[in-house]
Amino acid sequence: MQIQKISLRTRIFLSMTFLVVVASIMIAAVSVYQYREQDSDYHEKRLERKEAAIKLALEYQIKESTPLNQPIKIDSVLKSCIDELADIHDSEILFYNLEGNLIVASKKDSHLIHHQNLTKPLLQHLALNPNHRIINKFNKEGVGVQALYFYIYDTAHQPLAIFHLPYFNNNADSDYELEEFLKRLAGVYLFMFFISIVVAYIISSYITKSLKTVSDKIHKTGINKHNEKIKLKNASTEIFNLVNAYNGMIDELEESAKKLAQSEREAAWREMAKQVAHEIKNPLTPMRLTIQSFQQRFDATAPDYKHKLNEFCAILIEQIDTMSAVASAFSSFAAMPIGNSEPINVVVVVKNTLDIFTEESIEFSTTSNDITIHFDKPQMIRVITNLVKNAIQASQLVAKPKIELSLSQTQNEVFIKVKDNGEGIAPENAQKVFEPKFTTKNSGMGLGLAIVKKIIETYKGSINFTSELGKGTEFTIRLPKE
């Protein structure tokens, strides 16, 4: 899934959940680190306390065991107190001379410490240290060891020997406590994780609810629709600004729609007026010429004056009929063809309509003899007549014209198809087929298909076509059964 296709609601939800998980992991990591640091500080301070106690005990022992003005017998002093110190501090203790040779070791032995002489680097490090004290840290067989070395001084603060105290960091108890702590912490975090999922879902839903309302309204917005404004009670400032911008756009859109509708009506009436004027002027011109010719040539004394008078009247009547047909055609187009909606058997209506055509090229087929819809019967006859006439005229130049009219139905719809093998419709004319006054024929006013479309749409149906130059055209009508 690409990130740009993830919804804002999902992004907010995933982001909040991710932050909770990352925060939980970081808190757990910091807790472990802090626990380890505290444990390390504890062992270091404990070692310091042992060191201070041992130094104090050794100073006292050296002072009490040394006669005045007598040399110190360090070996006997250390041997006398080493086991006591080892028992008190529960640790092995070793003493070395200043050359690094082992003098004495406590009976409390540890298999992790080897009783060997000190190395020269360690002696040099100890001697160069300002406090003459060093701690070596290392792991031995998985156990942390802090090896403490420091000088032992006489009463004159002269170095006598080197003290060695190995301190073992026994982390078994602390590791157990840390494990128990992490278990409890994991339980709390798991509970908080589920709580955070619920909270993230609620918050993301709340944030995107207003956006979804705006989105739904925008999807339903159209210049030819009744657009409703958005009313929100609780929303953020940003959402309110967006809603206000949308509502302002709706006002502007409605104003533009009114102006556009008015402009379209004015343009339509102008075009209609031009077409009506053009169609009426066509018969008026020959009528004028006929009257002028009759006025100049008519002779009441001529023996054939009655014949000429009848011929003149016939011409005028023919042109008047043409003008009447023009008026009727435009009147039919202008009037909404509502008619009476009643159940009719389309099969019967189509068969009866086709009886008025004498062309043998017309073929009719149906999937059922009873296809009933609610429609106005005269309007259905008008639709079929117009489509069949167009098909006949489109096939006039074909050697073997063929016109197929078929009926079929589904559970909810009825399909009427009229197909011819005529010249077809050019692609550049496809968008103009249902426009008033458009025609590719030498006669007619181009209102037939426009009237058919208007009738079909009045009954909540649709009409479309497919065409191929040189092969023919097929019109398809879809009408609801109810």
pLDDT of residue 442: 43
Does the structure show a pLDDT above 70 at 452? yes
The secondary structure of 127-146 as a DSSP string is HHSTTSEEEEEEEETTEEEE
Q: How far apart are CA 275 and CA 142, in angstroms?
A: 105
Fill in the DSSP letter of residue 229. Answer: P
Q: Is residue 136 part of a domain?
A: yes
- The predicted-structure confidence for 301-337, as pLDDT tens digits, reads as follows 667 767 777 777 776 776 677 667 666 666 655 554 4
Say what the pLDDT of residue 271 is. Answer: 64
Does residue 362 sit in the same domain as residue 442? yes
Answer whether 324's CB lies under 8 Å from 288's CB: no
Same domain, 292 and 353: no
CATH number of the domain where residue 89 is located: 3.30.450.20
CATH of the domain at 422: 3.30.565.10
Does 144 lie in the same domain as 182? no
Q: To the nearest whole number, what is the mean pLDDT of the chain?
A: 77
How far are the Cα atoms of 43, 115, 144, 199 from residue 140, in angstroms, in the given order?
17, 15, 6, 50
- The predicted structure's pLDDT at residue 273: 62
Are 418 and 465 within 8 A, CB to CB? no
Q: Do 415 and 477 form a contact (C-beta atoms < 8 A)?
A: yes
Find the range with the poorest average confidence among 18-27, 363-372, 464-473. 18-27
The pLDDT, as a whole number, for residue 480 is: 92
User: Does any domain span residue 243?
Assistant: no
Indicate if the pLDDT at residue 404 is higher than 50.
Answer: yes
Judge if 289 and 141 occupy the same domain: no
pLDDT for res 415? 95
pLDDT for the residue 109 = 62
Query: 267 lies in which domain range?
Result: 256-334
Please report whether residue 234 resides in a domain.
no
What's the burial of 287, exposed, middle or buried (CB within 10 Å: 0-12/13-18/19+)? middle
pLDDT at 252 over 90: no
Q: Residues 6 or more apart from 302 whose CB is under 8 A from it?
A: 308
Does residue 307 sit within a domain? yes
Backbone φ and ψ for 460, nearest 5 degrees, come out as 60, 30
Comparing 28-37, 96-105, 197-206, 231-240, the range with the smallest average pLDDT is 231-240
Mean pLDDT for 1-18 is 69
Residues 357 and 434 in one domain: yes
In a shared domain, residues 281 and 293? yes
- CB atoms near residue 37 (< 10 Å): 10
Determine, yes or no, domain membership for 245: no
CA angle 71, 76, 81 (to 5 degrees): 120
Q: Which of 302, 317, 334 is the last residue of a domain?
A: 334
141 and 54, same domain (yes or no): no
159/176 same-domain check: no
| Interval 266-274 mean pLDDT | 63
Phi, psi of 61 (to 5 degrees): -65, -45
Cα distance between residue 480 and residue 415, in whole Å: 9
Structure confidence by residue, pLDDT tens digits, 156-210: 788 888 888 888 776 666 677 778 888 888 888 788 878 878 887 787 777 667 6
Asked, for residue 154, whether it belongs to a domain, the answer is yes
In this predicted model, what pLDDT tens digit does every residue of 342-369 receive, in sequence order? 899 999 999 988 888 888 889 999 999 9
Among 297, 317, 334, which residue terminates a domain? Answer: 334
Of the three residues 294, 316, 334, the one that is the final residue of a domain is 334
Is 229 within a domain? no
pLDDT digits (tens, 9 = 90+) for 134-168: 888 877 766 777 888 888 887 778 888 888 888 87
What torsion, rounded to 10 degrees, do the Cα atoms 270, 275, 277, 281 define?
A: 160
Question: Same domain, yes or no, for 351 and 431?
Answer: yes
**402 or 243, higher pLDDT:** 402
Percent above pLDDT 70 for the chain: 70
Higher pLDDT, 474 or 42: 474
Q: Is the domain of 280 the same as that of 315? A: yes
The reply to whether 79 and 103 lie within a common domain is yes
> How many domains in the chain?
4
This prediction has a pTM of 0.39
Least confident range from 2-6, 171-175, 285-289, 440-444: namely 440-444
30-51: average pLDDT: 82
Q: What is the pLDDT of residue 414?
A: 94
How much is the pLDDT for 454?
Answer: 84
User: Which of the four pLDDT bands, split at 50, 70 and 90, describes residue 70?
Assistant: low
Residue 58 has pLDDT above 90, yes or no: no
Query: Do 59 and 82 share a domain, yes or no?
Result: no
Instruction: Give pLDDT, residue 300.
Output: 67
Q: 160 with 62: CB under 8 angstroms? A: yes
% residues pLDDT > 90 (the chain): 12
Q: pLDDT band at 399, cuts 50/70/90? A: confident
CA 59 to chain centroid, in Å, comes to: 80
Q: Examine residue 15 and state whether it is found in any structural domain, yes or no.
A: yes
